[in-house]
Amino acid sequence: MSVNWDLVWSSLGPMLIGAIQGTIPLALASFVLGLVLALAVALMRLSRYRVVAAIARAYVSIIRGTPLLVQLFVIFYGLPSIGVTISPWPSAIIAFSLNVGGYAAEVIRAAILSVPKGQWEAGHTIGMSRRQTLVRVILPQAARVSVPPLSNTFISLVKDTSLASLILVTELFRQAQQVAAFSQEFMLLYLEAAVIYWIICLVLSSGQSLLEKRLGRYVAH
Amino acid sequence: MSHTEPAAGATDAPVLEVRGLRKSFGDHTVLKSIDLTVRRGQVVALIGPSGSGKTTVLRCLNGLEVPDAGTVEVAGEVRVDFAAAPSRGQLAALRDRSAMVFQHYNLFPHRTVLENIIEGPVQVQRRRRAEAEAEALSLLGRVGLADKRDSYPFELSGGQQQRVGIVRALALRPQLLLFDEPTSALDPELVGDVLTVIKELADEGWTMLIVTHELAFARQVANEVIFMDGGVVVERGHPDTVLRAPRQERTKQFVDRLLNPF
């Protein structure tokens, strides 16, 4: 089997455009929004008010208990039938953010709980309010603990954005599909797409190591 | 250091008045009506077996636990009656006037020594950063740790961490210092450094309530020793009396066991 290098080369352009204009911004925007949502949900789960905690628990349960593809389809193909039509990009960002929100909420909750109770007490005894203690004492320590699992979430998300091709978002995988359909070189083009995803994830992994090092400067090695 | 030293004079004014303090956790009653007075410049040592409630007393005074009943009055300025649930403001007012030193130091691991110390003065008391730093550095110098200002807690020994913990408490300029077994987590050879610092504070006239198992230290430093067991005060008085010639059989057993463990 000989490799059609011309095709590899000529398809690289559209795929990289798909990555740069689709995959990467989609993943970044969804992750940032998802993290904000996740922090809120994590704090709700830790709330003293049972109703608040129950709402957060139900949300996490629904997100984790249903396939991401189904969530995406409900938003893009389902909502129009009740009169809510959302275009592909916003649909994808909503679905992915909600998904990250559910998974990352559990990570953040666990990270907050992993900070020793004595840290809350130290904050209180120097006169800090709960909110001040949370922001200045607990969350910075929780952040360090949550970097590895949140990196996992982010890397999964980068790959999951390929599902957005099914709701007509032009991203890396959709570009690969289109070139493949045209040229009938499925093996070559899907492997090429896989390599590009892999490279993106390698870059992210090294970013994770840097971040861990930076946040770990106050821990014994 | 005049700005951190307690006001001189009025040595018999109570800094802490506790009456009828009660606390239960579920069905388990930990404190059954505790009375306690600490006067200005006095050092009171709270001793007793584990589970006797002595740590709970401290935690109630600093608002880490909310008592079920009783009154706590600090410096004649704040009086909280726990018959009703206290407001956040009342708990904050109690905390403002006392400072706690923990058994396990509880320094903030993500902040340097200096940042640990100025956190309360700058973030809570809204003092100027430069002023808080200057005061923190002079306090650090007094406990022999001036060169550790930029270290993180994990880079310090337990004894050094606890001295930073003490400085963090002093920097709040409290009326009352609360020590919760300040040397219990330390390696034996590091205990002396921390006790020396506490003794110096006593000599300077700081008002302190100390939960401790160091009986020799209590005898040397305390004005009064209180022996607690089962949530009540069994015996209180001059250290020489309580520790050397206790009147109560339970006190005698406890002291004997600590002095002669084998």
| Mean of the per-residue pLDDT values of chain B | 92
Best interface-test mutation with B: which of A126, A134, A221 has the largest number of B CBs within 10 A?
A126
State residue B9's pLDDT score: 47
Query: CB A121 to CB B102 under 8 A?
Result: yes
Kindly state the average pLDDT of the residues B106-121: 96
Report d(CA B239, CA A206) in Å as an integer: 62
Query: CB B153 to CB A128 under 8 A?
Result: no
Contacts A132 to B, Cβ<8 Å: 123-124
Per CB distance under 8 Å, which residues of A are interface residues toward B?
116, 118-119, 121-122, 124-129, 132, 136-137, 140-141, 144, 217-220
Query: CB B168 to CB A220 under 8 A?
Result: no
State residue B12's pLDDT score: 75
Contacts B157 to A, Cβ<8 Å: none
pLDDT in tens, A27-86: 999 999 999 999 999 999 999 999 999 999 999 999 999 999 999 999 999 999 999 999
State residue A216's pLDDT score: 84
State residue B1's pLDDT score: 40
At residue B104, does pLDDT exceed 50? yes
Q: Identify the closest residue of chain B to A135 by CA–CA distance.
A: B123
State residue B13's pLDDT score: 86
| Closest to A207 measured CA to CA, from A158, A164, A163 | A158
Confidence of residue B7 (pLDDT cuts 50, 70, 90): very low
Query: CB B102 to CB A141 under 8 A?
Result: no
Confidence of residue B88 (pLDDT cuts 50, 70, 90): confident
pLDDT in tens, B122-137: 999 999 999 999 999 9
Give the one of B99, B123, B154 whose C-beta lies nearest to A132's C-beta. B123
Query: CB A124 to CB B119 under 8 A?
Result: no
Contacts A122 to B, Cβ<8 Å: 102, 106-108
Report d(CA A74, CA B83) in Å as an integer: 55
All residue ranges of chain A with pLDDT < 70 are 1, 221
Kindly state the average pLDDT of the residues B214-240: 94
State residue A221's pLDDT score: 58
State residue B5's pLDDT score: 47
- Kindly state the tokens that stand for B222: 């305390």
Return the C-alpha torsion angle A15, A16, A22, A23, nearest 10. Answer: 90
Give the one of B95, B125, B154 whose C-beta lies nearest to A220's C-beta. B154
Q: Identify the closest residue of chain A to B93 by CA–CA distance.
A: A127
At residue B20, does pLDDT exceed 70? yes
Contacts 24+ apart (CB under 8 A), A115-122: A115/A141, A115/A142, A115/A145, A116/B106, A118/B102, A118/B104, A118/B106, A119/B106, A119/B108, A121/B64, A121/B100, A121/B102, A121/B106, A122/B102, A122/B106, A122/B107, A122/B108
User: What ipTM describes this predicted complex?
Assistant: 0.90
- pTM for the full predicted model: 0.88
